[in-house]
Structure 1
Amino acid sequence: MPGGGYSKLPNGSVVVALSLPNPLADGRPARFLVHAANRARALTRLRNLGLRAVYLRGNAEPPTLDEITAVLHHPDGLIWRSQPGAVAELWHPVRALGRPVG
C-alpha cells in the first residue's frame, strides 16, 4: 500500500505525506504527515518511531493544502489519522499511537 508525496514550502522545509499500514492494525491504511527540514529528515523521524520500512518513491500523493495546514499548526510537526480523506476524524499526534483512538 505504498503511496505518498511531498510539498516544498517557501521557507525551504518540506511536508511529507505517506499512506502506511495502520499502527492500530485494524486493516485500514493510515495517513502520516511530517514537517521537516528536508525529505530525508522527515523519513528519519518516521523510522525513529519504529516504522522501519518507510520509503518515499515519487510524488503520486502529495499532501493537500488542508493537510499541510494541519501539520504546520501542530507543535510536533508529526500527525496521523487512520482514515485518509475522512473529514469526520481529527488528526492525532504521534503520541496517541500508544493509546486507543476514538
Structure 2
Amino acid sequence: MLQIAYRARDITEAHIVAGLLEANGIEAFVGGHYLQGAMGEIGAAGFSNVHVADEDLYQARQLVIEYEASGGSIASRVADEDNDRPDRYARWFLLALVIVGLVLIQIY
C-alpha cells in the first residue's frame, strides 16, 4: 500500500521531491496530475502528493525534512498521521462544485 510522504504546493515541487527520494533509492509516485487541470489555467495548489511504499515511509519523511531544512521550501508539508486528511483547498473546491451543481439543478 502507498502512503503520502509529502504534500506539495504544485506538481513541479512534487516531482522535485520524488526525484530526491528516487535518487536515494526510494521508489516514489506523484499523484494529482489530473486534478491540476480541474482549476483551469492557474496553478492548483494542494492537489499534488508524493507517495511511497509503507516500508519506505519513515526514511522518505526523514529525507524530506532534511531537504526542507536545507532551504528546499519555506513551510513543512510533511504528511503525518495526525494531519493526513484532505487539503482545505480541495474541500473548498468540492463545496463550490456542489453549490454550482445545486444551482444548475434548480435552473433546469
TM range (shorter): under 0.3
Larger relative strand fraction: 1
Q: Which has the larger radius of gyration?
A: 2
Structure with the higher fraction of residues in helix conformation: 2
TM-score, normalised to structure 2, is: 0.27
